[in-house]
Chain A
């Protein structure tokens, strides 16, 4: 253990003897590290690998659907493929990327902390995530194959009679591990944000990304225990002869859906809020303006979190056993804070200086794609319209508009913060190609699916032989998936081509927040020095004295004095 002191001013030079230099190297360093940046980097690499694996499954799915009676894979394999595609993407890519990867690296730096509050717990989170991912994916190598009951594992399809075999148990085991990983990360983020902020970094001066991560962490702590409990019950039903979800023994199958979606809907926001945060930071920096409606943004995030615990059964409208009006109005109301965010993003760009870097283009791509996903989500909050579209490709299209928007936002985050973590920029020209392929591919992929859904094509079907006319639209969607695949390859190419080529400097984007104040990459405990913190943009205030944020009615030229001289 090392005592870390504040303020970190007396560690003046980077070549001052530092503990890490004496530590282990190579693989042992990776295994024993407790540095949030290295752990975050491991998370990032693992999550991107998961994106590629999940994407590969998706490409096989799309190839199968390119013909009405496709026989690329069998019916059984198809069930495994979409189950594992959904599971890998949700449990192993989107979540860990959102709260394990970028949050782990950025949150402590944004609030001026030397590390996460519990560095060893943080390392444990990563190992649980990695082993969970291995556990879940190893289902493909056991007899009977991987889990095949959809990523939602509805009882009683998921019981031991309908789904015998180790694949399903590996799915449960993998989820238990990643579930605990998420809970520990949630604890860690809350403690870090509550206890390790730098002097002057009051709650209402935290960057929006950090705020969103705090709310995400709270949601994780509220939601994930329910999933874990549900999984334990499911395991008991499968192996210990309990009948919690089986009618024959007096249980209630729908209870699984209640447990699953009580986690599952907050999970949607656990996935989305971090990406909202990234986009907020990026839009502000590349418009050279403060976040418009900063406080409104925070209240919008908090109200999304509050409402998100009361909407779970909008996934269960067609069960016929839930209280329709309650869940309908609660779900519709979530559109309001989401809309506030959208208008705040536009307000941030308004009268700014919008710089079309790759990160900003990705963020703009997010705005458009998320707008489509958000608007179509409003339909699904209305029970009659949900009865109409539930379990058709309309729903698949809706949530892929959302998740592709999140992928765009995640890429924006990598282009924006990657240089801070690695010290090197990515190639902007390739980045723009990647953007256009990803953006256009996403629309070409999702748009036909909306129409297919309205024409009645159900999801999770390997063949649609009774209506071969759907082939044209399916082919278009497959084309979109191929374009998305190309964009993924472009990303890998970009990483290879730009490897240690374009040194970033400490502050390549004229950033606002504390991570742009320290070096790229930051030193072991993040800072050699800290500026005075007088707003949510300490680095900007330091670099542009006299340009702090204006309130409504204030005029262009600031009337207050510049912030006090920072500590140097």
Chain B
């Protein structure tokens, strides 16, 4: 690709070099085009929600950039050390500055960075938007387990560590998650959603997920929260909308009602100050 630099002989050499450079850039791009839409996954996967797929594509975009730049830099380093390895005691030309080159490798990265930033903004705005919906789940994290309640219904799921409490949500529906913590900071993370968010004491974190595939997905606390952090597991079960409705209905019996009431009461008594009912607006640290 890059051959040893020749002694400068004027325009023809420069033109030849330019052509070679163009070929070097064109080849990988052509290869990419030829391979069709099978852009490699670079280790990630599309996941189960609509935004997890956007994240996946962003991941691919970043990875292509990283791979191209990484390969270029590795090639340059290898070329430099192999081609210019010490062969004698001759002192090489002591050149120190090459302004056009330096400007080039300052400006091009800036452009790349703004490109990456633009792509980031698109996906980010999609992920942080909270469209209106009537399926809401209050997720409460505690040492060491999870409690899922569904406001306006009696549904309640509660479980500690490896009991794997299961959050049930309908497919193809916007589901608003109200995430809170009753003690220390926890992390709500579901691999299949390509997404995580802290459960902070004193803060109500809201986000929306829209699952596109039914199935059961593993989730786990990702923010160190003490002794049983390793085992603070849960599951998310995405079911059809009718299954979801009937699941909610199973809670419409007196015992479940009482349990739901008791649960909401303990929450409001014990941790009234820790579990806010609306997003916080503290100015310090917000």
Contacts and interface: CB of A to CB of B under 8 A. Distances in A.
| Touching chains A and B, CB distance < 8 Å | yes
Interface of A: 75-76, 78-79, 149-150, 154, 156-157, 162, 247-248, 252-255, 257-258, 287-296, 318-322, 324-325, 328-329, 332-333, 335-336, 339-340, 342-343, 346-347, 349-356, 364, 367-368, 371-372, 375-376, 378-379, 382-385, 387-388, 390-392, 450-451, 454-456, 458-464, 466-467, 544, 547-552, 554, 556, 558
A254 B284 CA distance: 9
Contacts of B185: 154, 156-157, 253
A328 B74 contact: no
Nearest to B70: A375
Contacts of B58: 382, 384-385
Contact of B62 (A76, A378, A392): A378
A252 B202 contact: yes
Which among B5, B230, B273 has the greatest number of chain A C-beta atoms within 10 A? B230
Interface in B190-212: 191, 194-198, 200-203, 205, 207
Nearest to A249: B273
A325 B74 CA distance: 31
B187 A157 contact: no
B62 A347 contact: no
Contact of B96 (A321, A376, A550): A550
Nearest to A292: B96
Given A75-B230, A336-B110, A347-B101, A367 B77 contact: yes
B43 A466 contact: no
B202 A247 contact: yes
10 contacts: A253-B202, A289-B94, A321-B203, A347-B101, A353-B85, A382-B120, A391-B187, A458-B187, A458-B220, A550-B94
A167 B122 CA distance: 45
A319 B198 contact: yes
Given A319-B203, A547-B94, 14 more contacts: A75-B228, A157-B225, A247-B202, A293-B102, A325-B121, A333-B113, A354-B81, A355-B86, A356-B81, A456-B189, A461-B229, A466-B218, A552-B95, A558-B94
B201 to A, nearest CB: 5
CB-based closest 10 A-B pairs:
A456-B191, A247-B202, A391-B222, A255-B285, A461-B230, A254-B285, A549-B96, A349-B80, A454-B43, A320-B205
Nearest to B184: A157
A253 B201 contact: yes
B38 interface: no
Nearest to A546: B91
A343 B75 CA distance: 12
Contacts of A253: 185, 200-202, 285
Given A157-B225, A351-B93, A382 B84 contact: no
Contacts of B101: 347
Interface residues of B, number: 89
A349 B110 CA distance: 24
A355 B80 CA distance: 12
Interface stretch (B22-30, B123-131, B167-175, B250-258): B123-131
Contacts of A247: 201-202, 273-274
Nearest to B282: A252
Contacts of A347: 98, 101
A357 B151 CA distance: 68
Contact of A254 (B62, B124, B200, B207): B200
Contacts of A149: 224
Contacts of B85: 353-356
A289 B44 contact: no
B59 to A, nearest CB: 6
Contacts of A466: 162, 218, 220, 233
Contacts of B16: none
Contacts of A319: 198, 200, 203, 205
B200 A552 contact: no
B64 to A, nearest CB: 12
B203 A288 contact: no
Contacts of A318: 187, 196-198
Contacts of B93: 351, 550, 556
Given A162-B226, A255-B284, A387 B95 contact: no
A484 to B, nearest CB: 22
Contacts of B5: 351
A558 B226 CA distance: 66
